[in-house]
A and B are shown apart, each in its own frame.
Chain A
Amino acid sequence: MAATQEEIVAGLADIVNEIAGIPVEDVQLDKSFTDDLDVDSLSMVEVVVAAEERFDVKIPDDDVKNLKTVGDATDYILKHQG
């Protein structure tokens, strides 16, 4: 069953917490991965791969650069999840 927006944000919060050590409550839709959450370009790849697995979605390299905020990633997953 497809994940809801809330479930996706919660899932991304877990992933960002695991990879960058950021508290889950800090991971909000308007937060920028690089500017607010200390997720650099390489950690972002790890976040993307973990999200692909968790939400059964493919996020190609060319699309990764467009995912600036948690909201961008959530929308992308909502639209493309299997």
Chain B
Amino acid sequence: MSKIKTRKGAPYARILGVGGYRPTRVVPNEVILETIDSSDEWIRSRSGIETRHWANDEETVAAMSIEASGKAIADAGIRAEQIGAVVVSTVSHFSQTPAVATEIADKLGTNQAAAFDISAGCAGFGYALTLAKGMVVDGSAEYVLVIGVERLSDLTDLEDRTTAFLFGDGAGAVIVGPSEEPHIGPTVWGSEGDKSDTIKQTVPWNEFRLGDVSQLPLDGKGNVKFPAITQEGQAVFRWAVFEMAKVAQQALDAAGITPDDLDVFIPHQANVRIIDSMVKTLKLPEHVTVARDIRTTGNTSAASIPLAMERLLATGEAKSGDTALVIGFGAGLVYAATVVTLP
């Protein structure tokens, strides 16, 4: 048997820069109330959401990603051609193939970086970050661009009063690169496919090609509805708060970090009630800064953690070098939690 040579990468990896892009159109709850029977007070009390951003035709998944990535690259102080891999987590890029990551890698001016998309719903950022860390440490890439991007307004049923207000659009990106010290902890991640019905797309795409649309859901005007994301609110809430608090604790334990050591908590921005209950269940001390970007960004799935990270750093609520617990959880069901040093 021949001996296969391997490459060796950096001793450790870290997040070197972060960038975000929020679409220009700000959508207040009043707009949502045009299509559902609800109230501003109800939406705020159930979700914490006051406004969200919805993308226009020019703000495509690729365009938003490129904007966010440009900022992350500048923040990291590197050049695009140093990026060896681009990993995009999204569920709302509607061209099945090719992956949007290749277009992004090209337009950013990388030197033919490896580029691919992953599908891990609201845990996508943690999944992609874990892949990026592995690539940096095994030498597959010196710098990896991780992007979470969604246009969930395209997958929102505006007539569904339980979800119409929930989702937003945007892109968040980080650069992961080499480090002499560990700055990304072990990932605690997994999937619970037995709960796949808890959060899902209403109708799979292939239902539309059969010609027989009689079984498909219709809107108020009798037109076939585009697929949307639907969820069982109470089941999601219970799982997110109580099961994910355990996962978050495991990620702290795996990194050897106590709640007292922690500076920042950046959970997936699913719902402010989930965030508040998680904080309570985890018994996080008062000094820990908690991301509540959902209030003005909505739930942007894979983009929510890097967007919230970018905002906390931009507003000065968090600072470079802070120790942050990040946890994503969502459709699958899937989850991923880890402790990172903020860039």
Instruction: Report which A residues bind B (CB closer than 8 A).
Output: 40-42, 44-46, 48-49, 61, 64-65
The answer to whether A46 and B241 touch across the interface, beta carbons within 8 angstroms, is yes
Chain B residues lying within 8 Å of A64, measured Cβ to Cβ, are 234
Q: How far is B237's CA from A40's CA once the two chains are assembled, in angstroms?
A: 12
Chain B residues lying within 8 Å of A40, measured Cβ to Cβ, are 45-46
4 additional A-B pairs beyond A40-B45, A46-B277, beta carbons within 8 Å, are A41-B46, A42-B237, A45-B238, A64-B234
A-B contact pairs, 20 of them (CB 8 A): A40-B45, A40-B46, A41-B46, A41-B234, A42-B233, A42-B234, A42-B273, A44-B234, A45-B234, A45-B237, A45-B238, A46-B277, A49-B238, A49-B242, A61-B232, A61-B234, A61-B235, A61-B238, A64-B234, A65-B234
Q: How far is B232's CA from A41's CA once the two chains are assembled, in angstroms?
A: 11
Chain B residues lying within 8 Å of A65, measured Cβ to Cβ, are 234
Q: How far is B237's CA from A60's CA once the two chains are assembled, in angstroms?
A: 13
Chain A residues lying within 8 Å of B271, measured Cβ to Cβ, are 42
A-B contact count (CB 8 A): 28
The smallest beta-carbon distance between A64 and chain B, in angstroms, is 6
Mostly helix, strand, loop or mixed at chain A's interface?
Answer: helix
Q: How far is B234's CA from A41's CA once the two chains are assembled, in angstroms?
A: 7
Chain A residues lying within 8 Å of B235, measured Cβ to Cβ, are 61
Chain A residues lying within 8 Å of B234, measured Cβ to Cβ, are 41-42, 44-45, 61, 64-65
Chain A residues lying within 8 Å of B277, measured Cβ to Cβ, are 46
Residue-by-residue, is B134-157 near A (CB-CB < 8 Å gives 1, otherwise 0)? Answer: 000000000000000000000000
Q: How far is B242's CA from A48's CA once the two chains are assembled, in angstroms?
A: 12
The answer to whether B46 and A42 touch across the interface, beta carbons within 8 angstroms, is yes
- Chain A's closest residue to B47 (CB) is A42
Q: Tell me whether A41 and B233 are in contact in the complex, defined as CB-CB below 8 angstroms, given that A46-B241, A49-B238, A49-B242 are known contacts.
A: yes
The smallest beta-carbon distance between B126 and chain A, in angstroms, is 24
The smallest beta-carbon distance between B299 and chain A, in angstroms, is 15
Q: How far is B46's CA from A42's CA once the two chains are assembled, in angstroms?
A: 8
Most B Cβ at <10 Å: residue of A40, A42, A46, A61? A42
Q: How far is B242's CA from A61's CA once the two chains are assembled, in angstroms?
A: 13
Most A Cβ at <10 Å: residue of B237, B241, B242, B273? B237
Q: How far is B234's CA from A65's CA once the two chains are assembled, in angstroms?
A: 9
Chain A residues lying within 8 Å of B232, measured Cβ to Cβ, are 61
Chain B residues lying within 8 Å of A48, measured Cβ to Cβ, are 238
> Which residues between 178 and 235 of chain B lie within 8 Å of chain A, taking CB atoms?
232-235
The smallest beta-carbon distance between B200 and chain A, in angstroms, is 15
> Which residues between 46 and 65 of chain B lie within 8 Å of chain A, taking CB atoms?
46
Q: How far is B240's CA from A45's CA once the two chains are assembled, in angstroms?
A: 11
Chain B residues lying within 8 Å of A41, measured Cβ to Cβ, are 46, 233-234
- Chain B's closest residue to A48 (CB) is B238
Chain A residues lying within 8 Å of B238, measured Cβ to Cβ, are 45, 48-49, 61
Q: How far is B233's CA from A45's CA once the two chains are assembled, in angstroms?
A: 10
Residue-by-residue, is B231-268 near A (CB-CB < 8 Å gives 1, otherwise 0)? Answer: 01111011001100000000000000000000000000
Q: How far is B234's CA from A49's CA once the two chains are assembled, in angstroms?
A: 12
- Chain A's closest residue to B242 (CB) is A49
